A and B are shown apart, each in its own frame.
Chain A
Amino acid sequence: MTENNERFLSYKEAAAEALLMAMEKDEKVFLIGEGADNIEGIGGHILPAIKKFGPSRIIDAPISENGITGFAIGAALDGMRPVLLHHRNDFMLLAMDQMMNQAAVLRYASGGRHRIPLTILSLVARRPGEGVQHSHSLQSIFAHFPGIKVGMPACAVDAKGMLLSAIFSDDPTIILEHRHPTLYDKKEYVPKQYYETPFNSKIVTLGQDITIVTVSINLLNALGAWRELIADGIFPEIIDLRWLRPLDIGLIVRSVQKTGRLLVVDTGWKMYGVSSEIIAQVCENAYNLKFPPRRITIPDAPCPASQFLEKYYHPSAQDIVKTVREML
Chain B
Amino acid sequence: MVLNPDSENLGLFQKLYYDMLRIRLVEEKLADWYTSGLIKAPVHLSIGQEAVAVGVMAALSPEDKIVSTHRCHGHYLAKGGDLKKMMAEILGKATGCCRGKGGTMHLFDDSVGHVISAPLVGASIPFAVGIAMASKMKGENKIAVAFFGDGAVEEGVFWESVNFASVFKLPVLFVCENNLYATHSPILRRQPYEEIVSRVKSHNVRTFYINNGNDVLMVLKAAREAVSETRKFKPCFIEACTYRLREHWGPGEDWHLGYRTREEGDEWLAKCPFKQLRKFFDKIGNLSELDIDDMEDMIKKEIDEAVKFALESPAPLESELLSEVGG
Q: Which A residues form the contact surface with B (CB < 8 A)? A: 30, 56-57, 59, 61-62, 64, 66-80, 82, 97-98, 101-102, 104, 106-115, 145-149, 170-172, 245-246
**Are A70 and B123 also in contact (CB < 8 A) when A75-B134, A77-B130 are?**
yes
Which of B16-24, B25-33, B101-109 contacts the other chain? B101-109
Query: Are B129's CB and A70's CB within 8 A?
Result: yes
Alpha-carbon separation in the docked complex, A113 to B106 (Å): 12
Alpha-carbon separation in the docked complex, A74 to B101 (Å): 20
**Are A112 and B323 also in contact (CB < 8 A) when A70-B157, A78-B65, A97-B157 are?**
yes
Contact flags B218-240 to A (C-beta < 8 A → 1, else 0) = 00000000000000000000000
Query: Are A67's CB and B160's CB within 8 A?
Result: yes
Cβ distance A123 to chain B, nearest Cβ, rounded Å: 21
For chain A, what secondary structure do more than half of its interface residues adopt (helix, strand, loop), or is it mixed?
mixed
Alpha-carbon separation in the docked complex, A113 to B324 (Å): 9
Query: Are B101's CB and A111's CB within 8 A?
Result: yes
Query: Are A69's CB and B126's CB within 8 A?
Result: yes
Specify the chain B residue showing the minimal Cβ separation from A78: B134
Specify the chain A residue showing the minimal Cβ separation from B165: A71
CB < 8 Å A-B pair total: 152
Alpha-carbon separation in the docked complex, A153 to B105 (Å): 38
Alpha-carbon separation in the docked complex, A113 to B101 (Å): 11
Q: Which of A61, A77, A104 contacts B115 (CB 8 A)?
A: A77
Contacts of A82 in B (CB 8 A): 130
Alpha-carbon separation in the docked complex, A58 to B110 (Å): 28
Alpha-carbon separation in the docked complex, A109 to B125 (Å): 17
Alpha-carbon separation in the docked complex, A79 to B130 (Å): 11
Alpha-carbon separation in the docked complex, A146 to B137 (Å): 31
* 10 shortest interchain CB distances as A-B pairs: A74-B130, A70-B126, A67-B160, A111-B99, A112-B324, A64-B160, A78-B134, A74-B127, A71-B130, A171-B326
Alpha-carbon separation in the docked complex, A107 to B98 (Å): 9
Alpha-carbon separation in the docked complex, A30 to B326 (Å): 22
Query: Are A109's CB and B326's CB within 8 A?
Result: no
Query: Are B131's CB and A77's CB within 8 A?
Result: yes
**Are A78 and B135 also in contact (CB < 8 A) when A67-B161, A111-B99, A113-B110 are?**
yes
**Are A66 and B327 also in contact (CB < 8 A) when A110-B106, A111-B102 are?**
no
Query: Are B327's CB and A149's CB within 8 A?
Result: yes
Within 8 A of A (CB), among B117-139: 118, 120, 123, 125-135, 137-138
Cβ distance A95 to chain B, nearest Cβ, rounded Å: 10
Cβ distance B129 to chain A, nearest Cβ, rounded Å: 5
Query: Are B123's CB and A98's CB within 8 A?
Result: yes
Query: Are A64's CB and B163's CB within 8 A?
Result: yes
Cβ distance B242 to chain A, nearest Cβ, rounded Å: 25
Alpha-carbon separation in the docked complex, A131 to B326 (Å): 35
**Are A71 and B126 also in contact (CB < 8 A) when A110-B102, A111-B100, A245-B327 are?**
yes
**Are A109 and B126 also in contact (CB < 8 A) when A114-B116, A149-B327 are?**
no
Contacts of A104 in B (CB 8 A): 326-327
Alpha-carbon separation in the docked complex, A246 to B129 (Å): 31
Within 8 A of A (CB), among B60-117: 65, 67, 96-102, 106, 108, 110, 115-116
Contacts of A112 in B (CB 8 A): 99, 323-324
Cβ distance B281 to chain A, nearest Cβ, rounded Å: 39
Contacts of B67 in A (CB 8 A): 74
Specify the chain A residue showing the minimal Cβ separation from B126: A70
Query: Are B110's CB and A74's CB within 8 A?
Result: no
Alpha-carbon separation in the docked complex, A147 to B327 (Å): 4
Alpha-carbon separation in the docked complex, A147 to B101 (Å): 14
* Other A-B pairs beyond A64-B164, A75-B134, 14, CB < 8 Å: A57-B137, A64-B160, A67-B126, A67-B164, A73-B127, A74-B128, A74-B130, A74-B134, A75-B133, A77-B131, A80-B134, A82-B130, A110-B102, A147-B327
